[in-house]
Amino acid sequence: MTEHIAIFGATSAIAADVARVYAARGARLYLVGRNADKLTKLVAELGEHVVVASAVQDFDQTTAAEGCVRRAVEALGRLDVALIAHGLLGDQQQSELSWSEAEQIARTNYLSVMALLIPLANQLESQRAGHLAVLSSVAAERGRPRNYTYAAAKSALNTYLQGLRSRLYAARVHVHTVKLGPVDTPMTVSHRKSLLFSRAPSVARQIVSAIDRGDTEVFVPGFWRPIMFTVRNLPEFLFQRMSALSGR
């Protein structure tokens, strides 16, 4: 049976590669992205036989989220998988000085996602089937000086998804929290790369596989699970003395 997939944040590098994975196996896609040029190029690459429709959307305009989801459902007919993939790292040190920067990070990474989750969850609950996946981050596992504003927003999102997952369990709707480690994408172009950085095509394949399996909370790549278990459970007096973890 042909899969019907909606991707919100489709112009991010990871989401675009997820779209390619689904397109290769014959899915029908509805793509929403913030960057009009990137969206046009992606639709042209995948083809009109794959992308039933697309839309440019500023996800921070939270009052537009319900209409955005409604148009996706109307175009596809039904939703088998909805993926929310947009995000913003922001400037941590600026967020410590400026409320507007802190609010922007919180709005993009938590509030704008919640605005999409509400209509998407209601749609899938009414269908009594489907998958709702959200890209989160390993950063949410513990607040660190280098990114704690971003981490706090992602942590709030993870808690929201936990509750949503239990709410939708009886409706046979799968809610997936995808906790990504750092990925070599335009979002991290200014970051010094290490062996812990992954590539977007590999990450995309792992995301789709996790959705197929019905994984609830998944670390991508998987080696982040034991790493973050250790980081999360370090006593604070030790954590603060380890500059590799608690430094800027």
Mean pLDDT value of segment 176-185: 92
Per-residue pLDDT, 101: 98
pLDDT given for residue 192 in this prediction:
65
What is the per-residue pLDDT across 98-128, written as a single tens digit (0 to 9) for each? 999 999 999 999 999 999 999 999 999 999 9
- Tell me the C-alpha distance between 161 and 155, whole Å: 10
User: What is the residue-wise DSSP string for 198-238?
Assistant: EEHHHHHHHHHHHHHHT-SEEEESTTHHHHHHHHHHS-HHH
* pLDDT-derived band at 184, boundaries 50, 70, 90: confident
What is the structure's pLDDT at 163?
98
Per-residue pLDDT, averaged over 225-238, amounts to 94
Is pLDDT above 90 for 187?
Answer: no
Q: What pLDDT, on the 0 to 100 scale, is given for residue 93?
A: 96
- Segment 22-31 shows an average pLDDT of 97
Question: Angle at which helices 148-168 and 112-127 pack, to 10 degrees?
Answer: 10
Check if the beta carbon of residue 5 is closer than 8 Å to that of residue 78: no
Binning pLDDT at 50, 70 and 90, where does residue 3 land? very high
List the domain boundaries for the chain: 4-246
The CA distances from residue 77 to 21, 137, 138, 172, 192, in Å, are: 21, 31, 34, 19, 44
Is there a contact between 119 and 134 (Cβ–Cβ < 8 Å)? no
Q: Which sign does the torsion angle of CA 56, 59, 64, 67 carry?
A: positive
**Nearest-angstrom CA–CA distance, 89 and 146:** 11
pLDDT above 90: residue 186: no
User: Would you state the pLDDT for residue 191?
Assistant: 64
Q: Which helix (H) or strand (E) holds 97?
A: none
**Among 176-180, 202-206, 234-238, where is mean pLDDT lowest?**
234-238
CATH architecture of the domain covering 4-246: 3-Layer(aba) Sandwich (3.40)
Condensed to tens digits (0 to 9), the pLDDT of residues 114-172 reads 999 999 999 999 999 999 999 999 999 999 999 999 999 999 999 999 999 999 999 99
d(CA 222, CA 225): 6
Model confidence at 247, pLDDT cuts 50, 70, 90, reads confident
- pLDDT bucket at 13, cuts 50 / 70 / 90: very high
User: What DSSP element (H or E) covers 164?
Assistant: helix 148-168
Distance CA 94, CA 92 (A): 5
Is residue 81 pLDDT above 70, yes or no? yes
Burial 106-124 (b: 16+ CB within 10 A, else e): bbbbbbbbbbbbebbbebb
pLDDT surpasses 70 at 190:
no
| pLDDT, position 197 | 84
